[in-house]
Amino acid sequence: MNPPRSRRAFLASFATTAAVATGGFQRSASNGEALSLDSGLVPADRYECSAITRPTPLAPAAEDALEPRTYPTPPAELISDDNRGSIDRPSSLQNSALEYATKFERAYRQNAFLTKYGSVTRFFALQRTASQTSLIDSSNAAHAVLVAIVYNLTKQTQQSPPSDEWDIRATYYFDDRIALRAQYDGIAEKPTLSPDPRRDGELVACFGYRYR
């Protein structure tokens, strides 16, 4: 009788299979065109705000089901010019972007869980375990931030006990106009900025855009 595989061995085997099938990435660029990133920033005409893609479930009818989580408001440091040029802006901007990315990912994943399971959802928790941020400065004084977070999930439905998912990595790009999200489709123990959300991400928010 063969001994049971360790959690790491099992996950590594699963990740290898998934990476072969998908190339290691969840999503490709939205319109398939080559994207020039000479400045590090995503061009203003790259995305239309009407093309936003993110889970937006209705509230379940069951009283004991989870409620949809509201997507967070972007931090003032990200969308305001008031602090531009101040000494502490880079660290403040990166810290704010990290917290915003974590809250946004929590809302995104809980709402995706609700979209799939609806009124039988019972529990959801996201715990961030690692992170990385990178500030992008351009010659025209515009700012943007890249964020990578690694996290674990715990989910439960009415029909099943709690289940865990480990070492998930999502990457985000934020500037003063948009938020792009990408997810690595393997086991991500390190918070690297891959996949690059500027090239391989989906548009998940437009700041100042009124959602219907």
Report d(CA 100, CA 96) in Å as an integer: 6
Q: Which of 103, 102, 197, 91 is nearest to 143 (CA)?
A: 91
Q: Are strands 163-174 and 121-137 parallel, antiparallel or unpaired?
A: unpaired
Helices (H), 69-157: 76-79, 89-117
pTM of the predicted structure, to 2 decimals: 0.80
Per the listing, tokens 């977070």 go with 149
Q: Which helix (H) or strand (E) holds 19?
A: helix 7-22
Per-residue pLDDT of 123-160, as tens digits, reads: 999 999 999 999 997 666 568 999 999 999 999 999 99
Pair type for strands 143-157 and 121-137: antiparallel
Q: Torsion-angle region of residue 52: left (phi > 0), alpha (psi -120 to 50) or beta?
A: beta
- Chain segment 86-107, per-residue pLDDT in tens: 435 678 899 999 999 999 999 9
pLDDT digits (tens, 9 = 90+) for 33-76: 555 566 789 998 899 999 999 999 999 888 899 999 999 999 99
